[in-house]
Structure 1
Amino acid sequence: MHLFSYFWLLISIWSCLAAAPPRTISKRGNSSFVSSSEDGFSVNGSSLRFVGTNLYWLPTLESNDDIWNVLKNISDTGIKVIRIWAFNDVEIIPGSGTWFQLVQDCTTTINDGPNGLQKLDTVVQMAEQQGLYVIMSLTNNWNPVPDITSSGTPSRDVLISDTSPRNTLSNDYGGMDLYVRQFGLQNHDDFYTNDKILTAFQNYTKQIVLRYLNSPAVFSWELANDARCNSTLPTSPTCTTQTVTKWHAQMAEFIASIDPNHMVSAGTSGFQCTDCPKLYPITPRASPTPTPSPAPGKKRSRVTPLTEEQIIRQRAGTLKEDGVLMKSRWASTATREVSSSICSTTDGSYGVDSQDILNIPNIGFGSFQVFPDQNTYAPNDPNLDAVHNKINSSLAWIQQSAQFAAAVGKPLVLSAFGLVTQSNLNSYVPFNMTCAPYASSAAAMGVTAAIMDATTTTNFANDTQQAQGYGSFLQMGNSAGLGGSMQYQWGSTGITQPGTAIQLDTTNSSSPAAATGDSPNDGYSIANSTAVQQILQQGAQAMAVVS
């Protein structure tokens, strides 16, 4: 797309967003804690819709000034909610840097020191001072072992891809597989079913929840990032969607029993299973009196669960090719070829039924994620290039996800969305890997097909396409009635202290003290993307609702 057309598109997107009238909900008291209902989120008696961002690495920064400056930049953008890792598990106490919990030989030890949970205290306190809310994720589905030392012990200090320190990647903070390994078990899904692991995880969760019980800065307790049956460790044949749903219900009930103030949320990718047996089946509600289509930003009424037939039908249709975004979809001349079966995002093969999880009584709202470089959300249109197929399928996924949540009657948040750019390929590490497969140095590490040629590189967005896609995602989220949309991930320049995951640039510094560096980058950082930060700012202004 020509540059002029690109800017015309952005103006059109934000004109549509800004035109959305404020959505009011009934006031439910003046509590300073965020709550949810069928109408959405509210706080202090007013409705809340938001644009947010992810920064898993924030508690690893050594300098309080750095933490403050990062949060101030985010707040100045108009972003209201951040999502961080409220866990940092290690198998061996590192020589330096942040860690929250030692999990070793079936025992756990919590680090309450200045390089432990006191760092998390600082983040929460400063977020509150900046007027930000924090989604606190309590564990991660992903924790691949990056290296094995000569003694056979997993090394958590250096990644296999290069000399990047621990905590550079979002999957290098411990998580489910670390518990499984250290409790002497074999399968990833043992995390959901083993009584000893469940007790250990509940102990950690209780320490975190009680620590911030009275903090209005906490938006919600997110039980896990991207929970599913499969991960780096093998999956047992007995793991089903009900295994994962039951764990969410058990943990949500546990947290609700000790914290009456904050919502509990799931952090799944939104995967669904239309035909799986349900632990929490939806009771169809009576259809409301037909009304005109709601304005952008207002929730559409849905009264029945999503079905396989609907998914297949939504994929069909004739679209006009004219190179512009029409009704939030990239268009082609051909009628799209539609598969007669649903794909892995909706057939239960990941062991996740997000609609069933959302219908758990103690779950306050749902979440889903958009990572089209790592997941396939719909069959490709042969008349579109790879990047526009990724954008188009993501928009369809947003619509589809909003429909499954509306059938439950709870708010839905796009908790993470990201497109990898060609300029970020050297840093891009998929969530279940420990190395950057497209980095120029990867071939020397024995990574298959590491060097990308010009043709395959164009499968990834350029900077303009990324900004264009993000604007489209926000527009679609707004029109679909999402409670919030969160970009993955924020990036910052000028970090003044190395921490555990910051590599300082000393090439142009007269002294080490003057050196600064960038925040960690797993391929999604927007540290150097002014265009994306402006889009987030405009989106935040359009999504904000004060009533």
Structure 2
Amino acid sequence: MHNPPAKGLYNLEWTPECFLPPFFPSTPSRTIAKRDNSSFVNSGKDGFSVNGSSLRFIGTNLYWLPTLNSNDDIWNVLKNVSDTGIKVVRIWAFNDVETIPESGTWFQLVQNGTTTINDGPTGLQKLDTIVQMAEQLGLYVIMSLTNNWNPMPNTTTDSSSTQVLAYVTPPRNSLSNDYGGMDLYVRQFALKNHDDFFTSDKILAAFQNYTKQIVLRYFNSPAVFSWELANDARCNSTMPTSATCTTQTITTWHAIMAAFITSLDPNHMVSAGTSGFQCTDCPKLYPITPTASPTPSPAPGKKRSRVTPLTKEQIVKQRAESRRRNRAAAKRAGTLKEDGVMIRGRWVSTATREVSSSIDPTTDGSSGVDSQDILNIPNIGFGSFQVFPDQESYGPNDPNVDPVQNKINLSLAWINQSAQSAAAVGKPVVLNGFGLVTQDNLNNYVPFNATYAPYASNTAVMAATNATTTFANSTQQENGYSSFLTMGNSAGLAGIMQYQWGSAGITQSSATIQLDTTDSPTETGDSPNDGYSIANNPAIQQILKQSAQAMAGDS
């Protein structure tokens, strides 16, 4: 097992001012870790390497793993993951609370502008166990250090009366957004805007203090894949956003934190956990010079091509070409949906069939995220993006394609686009979470910025949103996952991570405290399910296993 530093090391004197601008370099450097025989994973223009060998992987998300009470449960989950051929798991290395719970896991108390670390058996010792077991199984762990999302429990008013109806929320830590995070810091430091998390010196000091204790605890462990600064950091959340939050706000924060962690830990990579949002027209803190950009090794069977930064014109052109192909395919199949009027036996369009020249929130910078600029920060080892088409739109829908296939097609284009964006920087990129919600899972589905399942036994919502046609059935999910994995592999992604793994047979001692056992008696003993769990889904697990074998063979 790793040897954590003495507890006294956690209390070293330091000042956050050392890590405020202009500490990080103003001129980007593309000098990132070179391939060597280190037992720590490192990154370079050709991807990841460890022990002198290249590493490409299939991974999964296990945000809930540290909440399991039983070490046997933790071991069994990790062993099942490993047996599937998965190499990397992504977990929440944070669990912030505003009041100390009577039972269950918590890592840090954030209350009235002060913080307290729980270093006991219900605290960071849980992470110790996971890291030790990962070492024994040969797994790597991406440690995510905070979350953009931490909504308060929701209430709503019945439209037929003034009665306030409180939705039933799952037990604590069942949902990925119920582990504290940025908004908890903002609330407890008596600030009002979500983006205060990125700009407040007091919050920065508190977050760096927590980060320091985690990083120093495991900086000698080869099981740590990377320190992920935050899950899905962006300007907006449940709390209000100030008018001054821009892409430079988020990029600056990533640069500050990456420099801070690198100063503490020379062994591990620092990674961004953004959703992959781009801004082709935003001013850059770390601009790319196209002629100087290294060209990564092509995917197997692909020719090396010149890499250039992604442009708005490229995005619009790619979408127009995709729609043209879909229209032609629909015409051949006899399913073309004409959008005009019939004149003398011919259809005459009443509206343009071209994709609009405007772009959407995933590429216009409105979220405050420019993933390409963040990736070009010298201390960032690799980037990330996510694919959740039930919650994000990755482009305009095509009327010639059914709703679920639209989601899949737009996701595939997003994967390809994200790979191109990262290739222009010359660093690896990982799809750190992808998922499709199925009709069978709608009762459990909770969006990342909510605390309740809007479709659970709610026929009005189901009917209003045509849920039975807009959400995938099991076959569509299987086809979608296979397509995502195939596209990610052919696009040369360094890693692809499904969201989220699920396990059955969790012991009652764990399930009664923090796991989701409220929906029905048949789910007792299953791991948390926010609509994406693949517990009791051998078809998806087999798809992941086959993809893991393919990725390993291409390494």
TM-score by length of 2: 0.84
**2:180 is matched with which residue?**
174
Size of the aligned set, in residue pairs, is 493
Give 1:527's aligned residue: 535
Q: Which residue pairs with 2:431 in the alignment?
A: 414
The partner residue of 2:73 within 66, 75, 86 is 66
Conserved 8 A contact 2:94-2:107 = yes
Name stretches of at least 5 consecutive residues in structure 2 with no aligned partner: 1-32, 156-164, 339-351
1:106–1:539 distance in 2 versus 1, CA, 3 Å: same
Q: Give the direction of change, closer, same or farther, for the CA distance of 1:322–1:343 in structure 2 (3 Å limit).
A: closer
- Alignment-mate amino acid for residue 65 of structure 2: L
- In the alignment, the residues of structure 2 paired with residue 457 and residue 501 of structure 1 have an alpha-carbon distance, to the nearest angstrom, of 30
- SS where residue 92 of structure 1 aligns? coil
52, 76, 97: which one pairs with 2:83?
76
CA contact (8 A) 1:298 1:481 kept: no
Distance 1:50 1:323, change over 3 A: farther
Is the alpha carbon distance of 1:337 and 1:207 closer, same or farther for their aligned partners in structure 2, counting shifts above 3 Å? same
Tell me which of 484, 503, 506 is aligned to 1:473. 484
SS in structure 1 of the partner of residue 437 of structure 2:
coil
Structure 1 residues 254 and 275, CA gap change in structure 2 (3 angstroms): same
Q: Evaluate the alpha carbon distance shift between residue 296 and residue 114 of structure 1 in structure 2; reply closer, same or farther with a 3 A threshold.
A: same
Is the aligned partner of 1:316 residue 2:320?
A: yes
Name the CA distance, whole Å, in 1 between partners of 2:286 and 2:257: 15
SS of equivalent residue, structure 1 residue 391: helix
- Give identity over the alignment, percent: 77
Match of residue 307 from structure 2: 303
Which residue of structure 2 lines up, in the alignment, with residue 105 of structure 1?
112
CA deviation profile, 1:484-541 (whole Å, cap 9, x unmatched):
10000000000013434224599989xxxxx951000000001021110000000000
- Alignment-mate amino acid for residue 53 of structure 1: T
Aligned pair partner of 1:121 in 123, 128, 144: 128
Give the CA deviation at 1:300: 5.0
Distance in 2, matches of 1:160 and 1:302, equals 55
Query: How far did 1:296 drift?
Result: 3.7
Tell me, yes or no, if the aligned pair for 2:462 and 2:468 is still in contact at 8 Å.
no
After superposition, the C-alpha distances for 1:191-220 in whole angstroms (9 at most, x for unaligned) are 000000000000000000000010000000
CA–CA separation in structure 1 for the residues paired with 2:238 and 2:327: 41
Residue 206 of structure 1 corresponds to: 212
- In the TM superposition, residue 304 of structure 1 has moved relative to its aligned partner by 2.0
1:184 to 181, 184, 190: 190
The change in CA–CA distance for 1:297 and 1:211 in structure 2 (over 3 A counts) is farther
Match of 2:360 among 343, 346, 351: 343
In structure 1, the residue matched to 2:397 is 380
Structure 2 residue 508 is the aligned partner of structure 1 residue 502? no
1:252 to 258, 281, 299: 258
Partner SS state of residue 402, structure 1: helix
Q: Deviations over 1:238-288 (max 9, x none)?
A: 000000000000000000000000000000000000000000001222589
Matched AA of 1:120: L
Tell me which residue corresponds to 2:23: none
Whole-Å separation in 2 of the counterparts to 1:309 and 1:39: 28
Displacement of 1:294 in angstroms is 4.9
Match of 1:460 in 2: 471
Separation in 1, partners of 2:67, 2:143: 15
- Structure 2 counterpart of 1:122, one-letter code: T
Deviations 1:71-120 (CA, angstroms, capped at 9, x unpaired): 00000000000000000000000011000000000000000010000011
Change (3 A) 1:45 1:333: farther
Tell me the amino acid that sits aligned with residue 129 of structure 2. T
Deviations 1:320-370 (Å, cap 9, x if unpaired)?
A: 67989xxxxxx9799963111111100000000000000000000010000
The Cα of 1:295 is off from its aligned counterpart by 5.0
Give 1:453 deviation, angstroms.
6.6
Q: What amino acid sits opposite 2:369 in the alignment? A: V
Q: Could you say what secondary structure the match of 1:191 adopts? A: helix
> What is the match of residue 10 of structure 1?
none
Name the CA shift for 1:343/1:508 in 2 (closer, same or farther; >3 Å).
closer
The AA in structure 2 aligned to 1:259 is D
Pick the aligned partner of 1:39 from 40, 46, 49. 46
Measure, in 1, the Cα distance between the counterparts of 2:140 and 2:203: 30
Which residue of structure 2 lines up, in the alignment, with residue 485 of structure 1?
A: 496
Aligned equivalent of 2:408, options 371, 387, 391 = 391
Match of 2:503, SS state, is coil
Counterpart for residue 272 of structure 2: 266
1:29 is displaced (CA, Å) by 2.4
The corresponding residue for 2:441 is 424
Q: Report deviation, 1:303.
A: 3.1
Aligned residues: CA RMSD: 2.7
Q: 1:320 to 1:314 in 2, by over 3 A?
A: closer
TM-score of the aligned structures, taking structure 1 as reference length? 0.85
User: Whole-Å Cα distance in 1 between the matches of residues 382 and 302 of structure 2?
Assistant: 17
Q: Could you give the per-residue CA deviations for residues 21-46 of structure 1, whole angstroms, max 9, x where no partner exists?
A: xxxxx983211000000000000000
Structure 1: runs of 5 or more not aligned: 1-25, 149-158, 325-330, 444-448, 510-514
In the alignment, is residue 367 of structure 1 matched against residue 378 of structure 2? no
Q: Secondary structure at the match of 2:290?
A: coil
Give the structure 2 partner of residue 544 of structure 1. Answer: 552
The SS at the match of 2:366 is coil
Maintained 8 Å contact 1:299/1:482: no
For the residues of structure 2 that align with 1:323 and 1:114, how far apart are their CA atoms? 59
Structure 2 CA distance, aligned partners of 1:361 and 1:297?
A: 30
Q: Which amino acid aligns with 1:459?
A: T
Letter in 1 for 2:132: Q
Structure 2 CA distance, aligned partners of 1:333 and 1:524?
32
Distance 1:316 1:332 in 2: 16
Would the aligned equivalents of 2:384 and 2:432 in 1 still touch at CA under 8 Å? yes
